[in-house]
Amino acid sequence: MKRIVEKAAMRQWTRDHRAAGRRVGFVPTMGSLHDGHISLVHEARARADLVVTSIYVNPTQFDQAEDLDKYPRQLEADAAKLVAAGCDALFIPRNLYAEGGPPHETWVDVERLTDKLCGAHRPGHFRGVTTVVTKFFNIVEPDVAVFGNKDYQQRSVIQRMVRDLDIPVEIVGAPLIRDHDGIALSSRNARLAPDDRQRALAISRSLFAARDANAAGERDAATLIADVTAGISAAGGRVDYVELVDDLTLEPVTRIAGPAVLAVAAFFGAVRLVDNVALS
């Protein structure tokens, strides 16, 4: 696996391969890789001849300095996992945001779609995500990029941005991968105290119960939301939001009449976790 740190070298790598007729797939990550990330690498490999994974803890998407400082970093273990997954290039950008000279002042902002769910609770977060992903698309120039449906709103926002700005890349959403006990895999899980890790199972347990209720005919948003909120609170979690939204527009749904997503963000200890299930 080739390691690339310079932006110009990254762009040249892709251009050389594309000139030879190869399709390049791209998986952006913030590292501390787990099987959820690796599933994206496999998804990219299935849709391209070569796969680039980036590892970059992007400061502009953190609304809490402490969260940025505590974000886990483990580059060599990550690289070994990517080699095992058959990744072709690892991009660890240096000076992604220009250093020295005038400050970075240009932002990409997807408007109403980012007002909801996580966007409503993390000011500036999605502006940081869309800006850094645009920079990556301009540097890596991939044919296809894969994003996890675990961060459902993020995937939706990127898809909308690419459509609105005619960015020449295909966006693929990949399924949410869970641990054996049901918890959504996340780099942040490593920061959970052992008893909080156990209590946090209430998130997936409540979402699965809601999915079962929905399969048995429950369509009422207020009922589903109240049950999930109660399940997480009873386990000692602090609910940031529980919302039932249309799977495309992310607008709130009061009664399920088509594809919808039941999305949760909740704190266990100081760690904010997100999860979701599809309902219909």
- Catalytic residue numbers? 37
> Facing residues of 54 across strands?
28, 91
> Based on CB atoms, which residue is closest to ligand AMP, 173 or 231?
173
Minimum Å gap between C-beta 35 and ligand AMP is: 8
Minimum Å gap between C-beta 173 and ligand AMP is: 9
Q: Phi then psi for 267, rounded to 5 degrees?
A: -95, 135
Minimum Å gap between C-beta 102 and ligand AMP is: 28
> Based on CB atoms, which residue is closest to ligand AMP, 50 or 174?
174
Max Cα separation, the chain? Answer: 60
Binding site for ligand AMP (CB under 6 A): 29-30, 36-37, 39-40, 147-148, 150-151, 174, 176-177, 184-187
Find where tokens 């990409």 sit.
108
Minimum Å gap between C-beta 148 and ligand AMP is: 2
Minimum Å gap between C-beta 125 and ligand AMP is: 12
Strands of 191-270 (E only): list them.
238-246, 260-268
> Based on CB atoms, which residue is closest to ligand AMP, 28 or 231?
28
CA distance 14 to 91: 11
Minimum Å gap between C-beta 203 and ligand AMP is: 12
CA distance 107 to 132: 9
Count of other CB atoms within 10 angstroms of residue 105: 5
> Based on CB atoms, which residue is closest to ligand AMP, 168 or 175?
175
Cβ-proximal residue to ligand AMP, closest one: 148
CA distance 153 to 159: 10
> Based on CB atoms, which residue is closest to ligand AMP, 36 or 93?
36
Q: Residue 254 burial (CB < 10 Å; 0-12/13-18/19+)?
A: exposed
Distance of CA 177 to the CA centre of its chain: 12
Count of other CB atoms within 10 angstroms of residue 74: 15
CA distance 20 to 27: 21
> Based on CB atoms, which residue is closest to ligand AMP, 129 or 221?
129
CA distance 171 to 27: 10
Count of other CB atoms within 10 angstroms of residue 90: 20
CA distance 235 to 207: 14
